[in-house]
């Protein structure tokens, strides 16, 4: 794996130079920092998250939760009906949401953007099981998912050390320069969309992440997760996104992550928080809300339907998920019809 991937350029040397940061991310589409975030704070966060994950039954019994030793029999991912039971409990942690507001990142984002930033309310937690490589997040651009404004940035943070074999993030430097959204197609993995195969053949960069490291990249930068090929370790990470306060934000980014598929409200998330300062904080900051564009997701789902008809096992799996998740929705009904056709022809 390491022979196929280049190494990130480290940007700690220009951390105090706003103009240099802006020039580099404009050129490369990303900035990688060593120990930008406090490792001790991340260790405490990891403890919080893995205790909840352990209580949810995803970890091997009689192991230290901090080690993240997964019970392979519990493998599931976004889109699986059993996933939200544990994911939502992790998502309710106040410490998960507060991490997106740590000054070390927000201050850096303001240097990059050049003005005050809004940490988007939709924080995202990624919990990736080992030996589940078909579901690895495929190559894509974030804009197809969060939309709003091109000048939006993701800060990807592993909550713990994340060597390549655990499935860290990789990206294609300079892939944002076309200032366009590439064609995306049906795929398994988070987001269910991936770019054309020719795009995936580009030169990729990554690293062996250590706790405290983080990767910041533009909404149009092509990126993917590497497969978690460890025997038994869960990969835990955070996606936090930032934009200028003056920029538009898509309406769905004001909702909790996965709320469109597995309903949960902010009041449910806030129920056991000890402080109030981050509750609905964005309501005083957001200046423009734009509708969600469903074109990307609709096109990918339509491709999935066609592939399922042709017998593609990954597409069939996705259609089964759609039926279980939202049986009364248009997508659920369309998926059920295709599955019935497949069964009647078999």
Q: Count the Cβ atoms, other than its own, within 10 Å of residue 64.
A: 11
List the single range of 39-43, 114-118, 260-264 with lowest mean pLDDT: 260-264
Average pLDDT over the chain, rounded to an integer: 95
**What is d(CA 268, CA 254) in angstroms, rounded to the nearest whole number?**
15
Q: Tell me the longest C-alpha to C-alpha distance in the chain.
A: 65
**What is d(CA 195, CA 185) in angstroms, rounded to the nearest whole number?**
6
Over residues 192-210, the mean pLDDT reads 86
Query: For residue 199, is pLDDT > 80?
Result: no
Digit-coded pLDDT (tens) for 264-281: 999 999 999 999 999 999
> What's the pLDDT score for residue 3?
46
**What is d(CA 343, CA 337) in angstroms, rounded to the nearest whole number?**
10
> What's the pLDDT score for residue 79?
85
**What is d(CA 317, CA 308) in angstroms, rounded to the nearest whole number?**
8
pLDDT band at 261 (very low <50, low <70, confident <90, very high): confident
pLDDT band at 326 (very low <50, low <70, confident <90, very high): confident
Q: What is the pTM of this model?
A: 0.95
Asked whether 196 and 182 are in contact (CB, 8 A), the reply is yes
Q: Is 62 left (phi over 0), alpha (psi -120 to 50) or beta?
A: left
pLDDT band at 197 (very low <50, low <70, confident <90, very high): low
Over residues 314-323, the mean pLDDT reads 92
Digit-coded pLDDT (tens) for 129-150: 998 998 899 999 999 999 999 9
**What is d(CA 157, CA 237) in angstroms, rounded to the nearest whole number?**
6
Digit-coded pLDDT (tens) for 71-91: 999 999 988 989 999 999 999
Burial (0-12, 13-18, 19+ Cβ within 10 Å), 39: middle
**Domain 2-291, CATH class in plain words:** mainly beta
Q: Is 95 left (phi over 0), alpha (psi -120 to 50) or beta?
A: alpha
Digit-coded pLDDT (tens) for 96-129: 999 999 999 999 999 999 999 999 999 999 999 9
**What is d(CA 195, CA 253) in angstroms, rounded to the nearest whole number?**
22
Helix (H, G, I), strand (E, B) or coil at 28: helix
Domain segments of the chain as ranges: 2-291, 294-346
Q: Which residue has the tokens 């709320």?
A: 259
Distance of alpha carbon 77 from the chain centroid:
12
> What's the pLDDT score for residue 200?
66
> What's the pLDDT score for residue 337?
94
DSSP state, 3?
G
Asked whether 305 and 311 are in contact (CB, 8 A), the reply is no
> What's the pLDDT score for residue 190?
85
**What is d(CA 199, CA 222) in angstroms, rounded to the nearest whole number?**
8
């Amino acid at each position: 794996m390491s022979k196929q991937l280049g190494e990130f350029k480290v940007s700690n040397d220009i951390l105090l130079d706003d103009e240099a940061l802006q020039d580099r991310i404009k050129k490369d589409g990303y900035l990688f920092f060593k120990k930008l975030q406090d490792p001790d704070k991340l260790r405490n966060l990891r403890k919080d998250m893995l205790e909840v994950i352990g209580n949810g039954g995803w970890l091997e019994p009689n192991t230290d939760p901090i080690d993240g030793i997964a019970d392979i029999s519990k493998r599931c991912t976004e889109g699986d009906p059993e996933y939200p039971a544990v994911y939502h409990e992790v998502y309710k942690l106040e410490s998960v949401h507060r991490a997106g507001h740590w000054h070390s990142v927000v201050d850096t984002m303001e240097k990059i953007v050049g003005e005050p930033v809004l940490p988007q309310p939709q924080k995202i937690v990624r919990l990736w099981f080992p030996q589940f490589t078909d579901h690895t997040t495929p190559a894509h651009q974030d804009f197809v998912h969060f939309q709003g404004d091109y000048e939006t940035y993701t800060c990807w943070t592993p909550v713990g050390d994340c060597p390549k074999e655990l499935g860290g993030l990789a990206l294609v430097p300079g892939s944002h320069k076309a200032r366009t959204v590439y064609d995306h197609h049906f795929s398994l993995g988070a987001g269910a969309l991936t770019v054309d195969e020719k795009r995936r053949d580009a030169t990729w960069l990554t690293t062996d992440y250590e706790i405290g490291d983080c990767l910041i990249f533009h909404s149009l930068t092509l990126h993917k997760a590497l497969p978690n090929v460890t025997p038994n370790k869960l990969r835990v990470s955070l996606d936090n996104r930032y934009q200028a306060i003056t920029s538009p934000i898509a309406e769905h980014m004001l909702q909790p992550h996965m709320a469109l598929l597995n309903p949960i409200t902010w009041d449910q998330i806030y129920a056991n928080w000890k402080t109030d300062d981050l509750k609905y904080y964005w309501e005083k900051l957001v200046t423009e809300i734009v509708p969600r564009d469903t074109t990307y997701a609709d096109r990918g789902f339509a491709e999935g339907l066609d592939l399922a008809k042709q017998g593609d096992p990954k597409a069939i799996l996705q259609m089964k998920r759609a039926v279980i998740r939202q049986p009364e929705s248009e997508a659920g009904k369309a998926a059920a019809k295709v599955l019935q056709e497949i069964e009647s022809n078999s």
